[in-house]
Amino acid sequence: MAFTALGTQGPQQVSALGLGCMGMSDLYGASDEAQSIATIHAALDAGINLLDTGDFYGAGHNEMLLGRALKGRRDQALISVKYGALRSPDHSWLGMDGRPAAVKNFAAYSLQRLGTDHIDIYRLARHDPAVPVEDTIGAVADLVKAGYVRHIGLSEVGPEIIARAHKVHPISDLQIEYSLLSRGPEARIFPLLKTLGIGVTAYGVLSRGLLGGSKPQGPADFRSHLPRFSGENLNRNQRLVAALGQVAQGLGATGVQVAIAWVLAKGSELGLQMVPLVGSRTLAQLEGALGALRLTLSAADMALIEQAVPEQAVAGTRYAAEQMAFLDSER
């Protein structure tokens, strides 16, 4: 496993790939807890140390799962936690809460569920427009001073919020969706991160499995409600997936591996410390994703990949309209 720093102010020994744990508890339908824990253990054994969760994934289930998986192995992991998303018992979304008192309350519950005395990276899942970002980051800075949080991250915010937050306390990294099918951050966000020395944890690197040929597995799978997986959009996007598969075959790899390797290579190309998060829910998925680390893409390979999957060719937005409205990064 290769390691990198996550920004100039973040953890300095972060695995080249991180493991996104959301799908083990939420949004993708039923999952097997024993398989999930085995996958987390296999990731740790392979050298992956960045584990990403959210306090609202499965209404706390994901944090408790991660806590069980890390018993006796906490020192091998960097835990990244998103907080602030409000959900009702029927799993619907109610908005965000970035108030200082709420932030500290969320942290108290996360520490308990994770069974740890500190969170390595703590980040508001989406910007709360009702609360100045300075107030939210100031509250997390208090948690840093008290030893409950080690580093402060951001998630899905644009240049103005990034700059304002960074003035309050150094930001380790921005978590944002980035893939062959979602290249929006390249224009305005990534240049600012490079200037400020802020790293990137890139999620959705497979566009929720789309680039690997995965399809929604029923109504409990939230992808069945996403524009890129619906109707004619899906048909158009599957043609891109097929084109990527052809390129991958020529490289002796899978489409999944090429998509992940492309993100790794783009991080270097753009001068960013970028760690792709892979949402592997099974040992087989994890093994496939790890194969991306064995790929070295040349400039010619990168050009071929981007020709097969042009930047503007994707059909549909990355979330449904009501979720897109929460994304400060899209403004």
Catalytic machinery residues: 57
Place of tokens 């969320």: 106
Residue 85, beta-bridge partner list: 96
244-278 b/e (C-beta count within 10 Å ≥ 16 → b): bbebbeebebbbbbbbbbbbbbbbeeeebbbbbbb
What does 148-207 look like in DSSP terms, one character per residue? SEEEEEEES--HHHHHHHHHHS-EEEEEEE-BTTB-THHHHHHHHHHHHT-EEEEE-TTT
Judge whether 96 and 327 are in contact, CB under 8 Å: no
Let me know: does 178 contact 185? Beta carbons within 8 Å: yes
| Gap between the Cα atoms of 245 and 98, Å rounded | 42
Tokens of 86: 């409000």
Cα–Cα distances in Å, from 186 out to 183, 199, 260?
Answer: 6, 13, 17
In this structure, is the dihedral angle defined by the CA atoms of residues 128, 132, 134 and 136, taken in order, positive or negative?
Answer: negative
